[in-house]
């Protein structure tokens, strides 16, 4: 037998037409793997777990034993592979810049994940006797102290589960305070540029919502607002910095006028990241403000939650804060619940959630806050604002910046679709960014700007990352202005091309059905 000497080829054949890749029979493209649904690959008699055999007992289920459920299982290996493959169809902060305006997609430190998983926090029942959870109550108390001090407010309600839930908490406290003084009021004023949650929350609390117009320079119209104040106005909801990325210069004046009219100021704190350590909302006359721990304080967004929305309150609203809350009595932390509230917190508007709020987010946020400290948090705001202004001024020659003339922006840069070629839209630029390897900015919000593009880089991006993003957005702006038709087909390189949202809404398919069943239903 002779040994073959050629071996395998070690130099590639020169490529003539790289984009003409042949289709694959699997539909996979190397590392981009298509993945079917668990209902298509699993079966009801496959499982990835094993248990000790159940004791043999006579059932006490009241004669209500269940028949078929229809839940497929996968082995552990198949499960790991299914979700690993799916994960690779997601964009994430861990992959690159994620400049969604108003969402504050900053780096999520892994120390936070580690501390949240300490058994002393993660494996703790919410109704455990208080003597056995002193460390957990200490975490809530410590975080509360930080939030109160950073905002210059009187106290904080920790239990709201997310930003919108925090808004609800703030408005319920305002309504309770008004009712306590026998003052029924019916209207909440909300700027046109507000997040959609603001009017939805006010309506949910039974208030009539009225818009406040914006000035041409993108701020609340002070004259219009003060003119509208009166005995029927319960509160004004203001976002500061606002959704145009600007600081509301007149907020203190507004607060004074609102208070003089017997109403309260709710501040949407979604954008607190821009001012943490540099401005205390308490100094501006704010009565209630939610803090999205999943924005400013880096707890992970997790593909859409869980969030956490503690609400800082002024002295006037503090007596109406929800149950439960943690109080320090001597060296002991006490959880004030319905049982103990009657003595010294009788004004509470009640309970908002079953337990004490998002403990798993409190541990993460506290780790983040301690990591930064008072000095680091101030630097956070400074770098967040610096990064946004750098983007604004690096692109305002190719993209219209509607409020660019009003001075510096805060933590987010706002552009519009003005000047793009006929037929080209903000959506085309956003989808083009996907092909360039970035998550798009917030599109078509705020509603006061046509074709809005709201870019929030956050402080955790390096200058190199910003420069690459600026280069990509500049190129896309130029293509959209030049009418490059190819842009309308973007994205070309994502796991999916543009998806048909109209079809999804017209004929909703919200659960999987076996193909035969699905056909029979049609």
Partner 1 sequence: MGRGGSIDMRYLPLTDTDRQQMLSVIGAASIDDLFVDVPAEARLSAKIAGLPDHASELAVERHMGKLARQNLSAGEAPFFLGAGAYRHHVPASVDHLIQRGEFLTAYTPYQPEIAQGTLQVLFEFQTQVARLLGCDVANASMYDGSTACWEAIGMARRITKRSKAILSSGLHPHYVSVANTMAKFTGDQLLHDAPTLSAATDIEALIAGIDKDTSCVVVQYPDILGRIADLTPLAEAAHAAGALLVAVVTEPVALGALVPPGEMGADIVVGEGQSIGVGLQFGGPYLGLFACKQKYVRQMPGRLCGETVDAAGKRGFVLTLSTREQHIRREKATSNICTNSGLCALAFSIHMTLLGEKGLRELAALNHGLAVQAADRLAQVPGVTLLNDSFFNEFTLVLTKDAREVVRSLADKGVLAGVSLGRLFPQHMSVGNGLVVAVTETVIAEDIETLAKALEEELA
Pick out residues in 467-506 that bind partner 1 (CB under 8 A): 489, 491, 494-501, 503-505
Cβ closest to partner 1, residue 6 vs residue 343: 343
Site for partner 1 in 30-49 (CB under 8 A): 35, 37-39, 42-49
* Contact call for residue 161 and partner 1 (CB under 8 A): yes
User: Following DSSP, what letter does each residue of 343-372 receive, concatenated?
Assistant: HH-TT---BSSSSSS-HHHHHHHHHHHHHH
Would you state the torsion angle of the CA atoms of residues 26, 30, 31, 34, taken in this order, to the nearest 10 degrees? -10
Which of 5, 8, 56, 181 touches partner 1 (CB under 8 A)? 56
Nearest distance, CB of residue 2 and partner 1, angstroms: 50
Q: Please report how the helices 134-151 and 359-395 are oriented relative to each other, as an axis angle in degrees rounded to 10.
A: 30
Distance of CA 325 to the CA centre of its chain: 24
In the block, tokens 């029927």 appear at 232
> 297 vs 116, 276, 362, 433, CA distance in Å?
14, 10, 10, 27
Provide the mask over 273-292, with x wherever binding to partner 1 is found by CB under 8 A and - wherever it is not: --x-xxxx--xx--------
Separation CA 33–CA 216 (nearest Å): 49
Q: Is 355 in the site for partner 1 (CB under 8 A)?
A: yes
Q: How far is the CB of 36 from partner 1 (least distance, A)?
A: 9
- CB of 450 within 8 A of CB of 416? yes
Give the Å distances, CA to CA, from 34 to 30, 73, 89, 92, 406. Answer: 10, 19, 9, 19, 48
Please choose, from the candidates 143, 204, 217, the residue with its C-alpha nearest in 3D space to the C-alpha of residue 370.
143
User: Would you say 3 or 509 has its CB closer to partner 1?
Assistant: 509
Choose one: 1-9, 228-236, 300-308, 311-319; the region binding partner 1 (CB under 8 A).
300-308
Residue 200 vs 482, nearer CB to partner 1 = 200
Q: How far is the CB of 261 from partner 1 (least distance, A)?
A: 21
**Least CB distance from residue 113 to partner 1, whole Å?**
6
Residues 248-277 that bind partner 1 (CB under 8 A): 249, 252, 275, 277
CB of 301 vs partner 1, minimal distance in Å: 5
CA 494 to chain centre: 23
What is the smallest separation between the CB atom of 501 and partner 1, expressed in angstroms? 5
Q: Which of residues 81-100 bind partner 1 (CB under 8 A)?
A: 82-84, 86-95, 98, 100
Among 143, 168, 173, 487, binds partner 1 (CB under 8 A): 168
Q: Which two tokens stand for residue 107?
A: 């780096």
Contacts of 299 (CB under 8 A, 6+ apart): 108, 112, 293, 307, 308, 361, 364, 365, 368
Give residues 428-457 in contact with partner 1 (rule: CB under 8 A): 430-431, 434, 439-440, 445
Show contacts with partner 1 in window 110-149 (CB under 8 A). Answer: 111, 113-129, 131-136, 138-139, 142, 146, 149
When the beta carbons of 229 and 409 are compared against partner 1, the nearer one is 409
Q: Which of residues 6-35 bind partner 1 (CB under 8 A)?
A: 35
Which of 216, 462, 471, 483 touches partner 1 (CB under 8 A)? 462
Options 154, 351, 474, 481; binder of partner 1; rule CB under 8 A: 351
Tokens of 82: 């299914």
Which residues, 6+ apart, have CB-to-CB distance to 157 below 8 Å? 169, 173, 310, 311, 313, 321, 322, 325
What is the smallest separation between the CB atom of 476 and partner 1, expressed in angstroms? 15
- Give 188's strand partners: 209, 235
239 in contact with partner 1 (CB under 8 A): no
Give which of 295, 246, 297 is closest to 116, Cα–Cα. 297
Residues numbered 402 to 431 that lie near partner 1 (CB under 8 A) are 407-408, 410, 430-431
Contact with partner 1 (CB under 8 A) among 153, 246, 267, 317: 246
Provide the token pair at 518: 């699905």
Closer of 12 and 150 to partner 1 (Cβ): 150
Rounded CA-CA distance 184/180 in Å is 9
Smallest gap from residue 149 Cβ to partner 1 (A): 6
For partner 1, the closer CB: 91 or 481: 91
Over the Cα atoms of the chain, what is R_g? 27
89 or 478: CB nearest partner 1: 89
State both tokens at 488.
């309308």
Check residue 382 for interaction with partner 1 (CB under 8 A).
yes
Q: Which residue has the tokens 């009565």?
A: 287
- Cβ proximity to partner 1: between 25 and 505 the closer is 505
**Least separation, in Å, of the C-beta of 9 and partner 1?**
34
Q: How many residues bind partner 1 (CB under 8 A)?
A: 206
- Pair type for strands 288-290 and 264-268: parallel
- Binding partner 1 by CB under 8 A: which of 101, 170, 191, 307? 307
- For residue 489, give the H/E element and its range: none
In the block, residue with structure tokens 């078509």? 444
Q: How far is CA 38 from CA 46, 121, 197, 380, in A?
A: 11, 32, 34, 42
Helix, strand, or coil (residue 61): coil
């Amino acid at each position: 037998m002779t040994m073959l000497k050629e071996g395998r080829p070690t130099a590639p054949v020169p490529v003539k037409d790289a984009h003409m890749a042949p289709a694959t029979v699997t539909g996979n493209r190397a590392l981009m793997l298509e993945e079917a649904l668990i209902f298509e690959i699993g079966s009801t008699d496959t499982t990835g777990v094993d248990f000790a055999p159940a004791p043999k007992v006579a059932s006490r289920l009241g004669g209500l034993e269940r028949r078929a459920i229809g839940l497929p299982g996968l082995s552990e290996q198949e499960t790991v592979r299914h979700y690993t493959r799916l994960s690779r169809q997601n964009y994430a902060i861990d992959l690159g810049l994620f400049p969604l305006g108003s969402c504050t997609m900053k780096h999520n430190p892994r120390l936070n994940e580690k501390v949240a998983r300490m058994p002393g926090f993660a494996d703790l029942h919410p109704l455990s006797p208080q003597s056995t959870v002193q460390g957990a109550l200490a975490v809530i108390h410590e975080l509360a102290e930080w939030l109160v001090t950073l905002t210059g407010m009187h106290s904080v309600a920790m239990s709201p589960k997310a930003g919108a839930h925090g808004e609800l908490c703030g408005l319920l406290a305002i309504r309770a305070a008004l009712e306590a003084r026998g003052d029924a009021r019916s209207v909440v004023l909300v700027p046109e540029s507000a997040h959609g949650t603001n009017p939805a929350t006010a309506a949910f609390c039974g208030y009539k919502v009225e818009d406040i117009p914006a000035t041409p320079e993108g701020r609340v119209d002070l004259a219009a607002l003060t003119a509208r104040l009166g005995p029927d106005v319960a509160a004004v909801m203001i976002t500061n910095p606002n959704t145009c990325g600007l600081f509301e210069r007149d907020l203190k004046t507004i607060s004074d006028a609102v208070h003089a009219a017997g109403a309260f100021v709710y501040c949407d704190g979604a954008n607190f990241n821009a001012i943490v350590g540099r401005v205390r909302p308490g100094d501006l006359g704010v009565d209630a403000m939610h803090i999205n721990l999943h924005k400013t304080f880096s707890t992970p967004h997790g593909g859409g939650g869980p969030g956490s929305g503690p609400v800082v309150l002024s002295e006037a609203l503090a007596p109406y804060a929800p149950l439960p809350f943690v109080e320090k009595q001597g060296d002991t932390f006490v959880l004030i619940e319905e049982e103990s509230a009657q003595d010294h917190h009788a004004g509470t508007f009640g309970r908002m959630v079953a337990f004490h709020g998002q403990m798993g987010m409190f541990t993460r946020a506290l780790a983040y806050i301690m990591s930064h400290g008072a000095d680091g948090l101030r630097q956070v705001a400074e770098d967040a604002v610096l990064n946004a202004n750098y983007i604004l001024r690096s692109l305002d020659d190719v993209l219209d910046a509607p409020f660019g003339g009003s001075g510096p922006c805060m933590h987010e840069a706002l552009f519009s679709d003005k000047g793009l070629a006929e037929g080209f839209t903000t959506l085309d630029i956003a989808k083009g960014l996907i092909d360039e390897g970035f998550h798009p900015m917030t599109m078509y919000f705020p509603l006061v700007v046509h074709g809005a593009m709201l870019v929030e880089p956050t402080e955790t991006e390096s200058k190199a990352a910003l420069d690459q993003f600026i280069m990509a957005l500049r190129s896309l702006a130029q293509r959209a202005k030049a009418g490059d038709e190819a842009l309308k087909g973007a994205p070309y390189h994502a796991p999916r091309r543009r998806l048909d949202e109209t079809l999804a809404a017209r004929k909703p398919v919200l659960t999987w059905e076996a193909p035969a069943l699905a056909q029979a239903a049609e």
